[in-house]
Amino acid sequence: MRRAAAGALLCLALASCGGGGGGSSSLPAASGSLPTPTPAPTPTPTAAPAPMADVRGVAVDDANGQPIAGARVIVSENTVIAGPTPPPAASPSWPSATTAPDGSFDVKNVPPSAWTLDFAYVGAGYPRYANAQWVQIFPVDGHAAYHGIWSVAPNGTTDLGSVAIAQPNAQETAWLARVNADRATVGLPAVATPLSFDSVTLQTARYWAQQSASLGFYAHQCPAGTACVPFWLWETQHHSMPSSQNLDYGAVATWTWQNAEGAFMAEIANCPNGGNWQMCPYAENTGHYIDIMSASYWAGVAIAVGKDPTSQSGSTTPYYVQNFSSPSNNVSAIQSLRRSLGL
């Protein structure tokens, strides 16, 4: 069974002046003169606070465009919330809002950001987010949490438009549960912290599975001469950090996502030191296992059925895709991307 893996992937100067000094005269005051009154100090006007930005948008389902109501929206500079739910509102007190029944939100009083996230040097089409802010949306209706990087104007209103958020299906939910169980009970050393779905990471996995199935290819890169957009480019254009990726496909009719997951984790046998993933060299026969175990934030898994990659025909070949996004690893992820593109 062939499998493919892609490697895991940012003074204010104060001056004061004083003066004074004077002398007293021994000469008598002129007849009838009055003392000169001391002028009252002029109060220093208080500067008006600089206006801060507000961030607007509409959270919608990515499949049917229906609004997502009751979700908490948090905007923060260079700070991500790893889990599927936000922290309590008072700790910490990031600017936030709740989506209305029509999915709209308006997060007010967002401090300006000087953070810049630049993917543009990687290649043509890769974005550059200046004055970047994390926009994080936490639905309460089964949709995945959304974590996206957007350029936010330092003041005034930034309108994000519609933010399309994915909802994992039952099969995807079962697969992620298996991934977390494997991390906790099979891998060495075990990783007890579970991964959660991120909307864009889930959408990226779905995108690549569908591209593979419809075009009939089995690779981390697009076939030459096609309109396919590389998954790295697609996800960064959709406001995500780069992710690592595991691929498999069913060369036999009975091959399932359970078989794919089992084959990925079986690579523990190819790692020295009893299968320790932290000490294992990254290679084609270890990388899937390392990707699963080293992921620290979010995941997306997907299945699509289409053409056989060998014959370029048929419509029953399943493709299995895992994507793992860890924002803290974005530098190594970009370096891995550059290597894979020969840049």
pLDDT tens-digit readout, 125-168: 999 999 999 999 999 999 999 999 999 999 999 999 999 999 99
Question: Token pair 């691929």 is at which residue?
Answer: 247
The reported pLDDT for the residue numbered 326 is 78
Distance CA(62)–CA(164), nearest Å, equals 4
Structure confidence by residue, pLDDT tens digits, 79-124: 889 888 988 875 678 999 999 999 999 999 999 999 998 888 888 8
Structure confidence by residue, pLDDT tens digits, 168-199: 999 999 999 999 999 999 999 999 999 999 99
Q: What is the mean pLDDT of the chain?
A: 86
Sign, CA dihedral 210-174-327-162, equals: positive
pLDDT at 32 over 60: no
Higher pLDDT, 303 or 331: 303
Cβ-based neighbours of 4, under 8 Å, separated by 6 or more: 218, 219, 220, 246, 247, 248, 284
Tell me the residue length of the chain: 343
Helices (H), ranges, the chain: 170-185, 199-215, 231-237, 257-265, 272-275, 287-294, 330-341
Interval 49-58 mean pLDDT = 87
Q: Return the domain boundaries, the chain.
A: 53-165, 168-341
The reported pLDDT for the residue numbered 189 is 97
The reported pLDDT for the residue numbered 293 is 95
Interval 313-335 mean pLDDT = 79
Distance CA(84)–CA(73), nearest Å, equals 13
Interval 317-330 mean pLDDT = 84
Max CA separation in the chain (angstroms): 118
Reply yes or no on domain 53-165 having CATH 2.60.40.10: yes
Distance CA(15)–CA(273), nearest Å, equals 61
pLDDT at 37 over 70: no
53-165 and 168-341 share one fold: no
CATH topology of domain 168-341: Pathogenesis-related Protein p14a (3.40.33)
- Radius of gyration over every alpha carbon of the chain, rounded to an integer in angstroms: 28
Q: Judge contact between 237 and 231, C-beta under 8 A.
A: no
Q: Judge contact between 102 and 134, C-beta under 8 A.
A: no
pLDDT at 291 over 80: yes
What token pair was written down for 55? 């961030």
Higher pLDDT, 327 or 72: 72
Beta bridge partners of 59: 163
Structure confidence by residue, pLDDT tens digits, 276-286: 999 999 889 99
The reported pTM is 0.84
